[in-house]
Structure 1
């Protein structure tokens, strides 16, 4: 099948060339620079991506990091916590105080208050609800404890010293650009989309990026359904979609966990004419890509290493260290990780950091 380059795909490759990515499993430790623990002094650079390829000292002053994240009721979330714990274990001077994973907002707030009372050196926080945790995170910052906000943003810039984010819009762009490269020479190609929860901004961002990238090669989404990031929801939504669309050229599923259900629906319907692109980067999907005999041809990474990067940044901030390869001093205020496409050609590179759905 001919490959039709698009401006969106080219832009993504250009971004890869000029931006380095701070992904815990793919970069080494970083080199030193100044930091601050107060919100007012936290102003600094915003980086679409950054790297830590220069080695920092193997150890430094002791660092006590409080870590809190939602319950691991999702493969990606489980991988988030596992990677954070593994990252902290790399540094003999780091003591990680891990709060019990919870989806109870009030319990998570009390966990952060405990960290504040205990006087930890830094807090890495993936909030169940960013808005609900903003006030207590600001309280920590006011107490001189730098907060590293992971994935779900607070509603105030004063609540975090640094923020590590995935790129939801970029996921959609990557998925759409890949599909353009595969079927963009078919002006009547039928494109389907299985989204996550439609009310969430992250789902809206993913869908917008997907639509924008498809429009660059003259395509658009023909059939779309929303699931709920669960296996059962993915199977039900996809079954409905397949009944409505007797022929599909390409389908993007936003989430690899719900993708288990998506693939079950496709198998049950006996459909094999379509190519499937996943989302997030699970080992399950990568194994299918590597095997080469599945409808799954690619997945788009949404890094499950974000909290691990948060641990790395917390250590650097407390130890007055800097990210390597940056001319500017200080750890950036915002780091947004790239959303690369994993295919049979590069899957071996990404498998080590893949999570189990």
Structure 2
């Protein structure tokens, strides 16, 4: 996906190529009670159309990124006068989330947007919705069967690792016997395995670089601090760190500062505002973060609206929306951070 397509190009009624990075819709800098970028038009063609009721079901917002997902969905739906959003409370309990989706099905919403706590476990209720004639936009965590959704939209976990590895590789390509360490997320998640695989594959292009250690954390500040402290104690010298998640990166930076270490560069993941602020300030080891944009939730609302109104994606020849859309994992550095700051989440 070309980086030139990242601002102002929105699904549903806008001119956009499939897989574009959609960042115009939101920010976590409040203005009049709403995300800052919400003062921008929803889309070039935002004239009200047929009334559409969209049901939204996601996991509990116990993480900065998941909270940003919910806020993006709410803010985006609020841009359309003809869209009614039925949003569930959110739960990490699969049985509870299944019940919430079934309630939305019974309400006969026009379209469902579902970010499953567990894609495999929620597959049956996705199938149930589709069989009931309610098209499903599967957000991020994919269902086990493509029959359970009309369109999937999500981030590129493999691409995150690949782009993080290539960024580090280019920085260290001239250093003999360079060493890198990896602070991963939850190892029982498929997305963590994909991020690690992409990182490993990128490093294959740089034979002078060796990954010398890897620790798995839990996507929390506390786990990031504890696991990073262990890495620092075990590795007295290394040249670069890739941290999978900016939330746990807050803790990792805390451990790094407490250890008085500044002899390596750090790359984060997801695109938190705190990480972007640190990159812009350029006063720590954190030099870049690889995006996993929560703006995908806003794009999912655009897609759901388009489905409910029988529209395709503006700028494309097809009459229908795509079946699958993978967002691009752009690398945010000091050189381009101002452009991406409005998309940062708290």
| TM-score (norm: length of structure 2) | 0.90
Out of 239, 246, 255, which is 1:249 matched to?
Answer: 239
1:31 aligned residue? 13
Residue ranges of structure 2 left out of the alignment (5+ in a row): 25-42
Contact 1:131 1:154 in 2 (8 A): yes
* C-alpha distance in 1 between matches for 2:163 and 2:143: 26
1:223 aligned residue? 213
Query: How do 1:35-184 residues align onto structure 2 when only pairs under 5 Å count?
Result: 48-49=19-20, 55-184=44-173
Question: Could you give the per-residue CA deviations for residues 307-352 of structure 1, whole angstroms, max 9, x where no partner exists?
Answer: 2111110000111111122223310011000000000011011111
Residue ranges of structure 1 left out of the alignment (5+ in a row): 1-14, 34-45
Out of 11, 16, 28, which is 2:2 matched to?
Answer: 16
Query: How do 1:328-347 residues align onto structure 2 when only pairs under 5 Å count?
Result: 328-347=318-337
**1:48 shift after superposition:** 4.7
Question: Could you give the per-residue CA deviations for residues 137-159 of structure 1, whole angstroms, max 9, x where no partner exists?
Answer: 11111111111010111011110
SS of 1:224 mapped into structure 2 = strand
Out of 239, 252, 258, which is 1:262 matched to?
Answer: 252
Is the aligned partner of 1:295 residue 2:277? no
2:297 aligned residue? 307
* C-alpha distance in 2 between matches for 1:349 and 1:123: 32
| TM-score (norm: length of structure 1) | 0.87
* C-alpha distance in 2 between matches for 1:155 and 1:112: 17
* C-alpha distance in 2 between matches for 1:242 and 1:94: 50
Out of 168, 190, 202, which is 1:201 matched to?
Answer: 190
Out of 266, 271, 277, which is 1:281 matched to?
Answer: 271
* C-alpha distance in 2 between matches for 1:151 and 1:281: 16
Out of 236, 247, 254, which is 2:226 matched to?
Answer: 236
**1:59 shift after superposition:** 1.1
> In structure 2, do the counterparts of structure 1 residues 305 and 344 end up closer, same or farther at CA, with 3 Å as the change threshold?
same
Contact 2:10 2:299 in 1 (8 A): no
Moved over 6 A (4+): 50-54
Is the aligned partner of 1:272 residue 2:254? no
* C-alpha distance in 1 between matches for 2:20 and 2:14: 18
The structure whose RCO (Cα within 8 Å, separation 6+) is larger is 1
Contact 1:192 1:221 in 2 (8 A): yes
Superposition CA RMSD, Å: 2.1
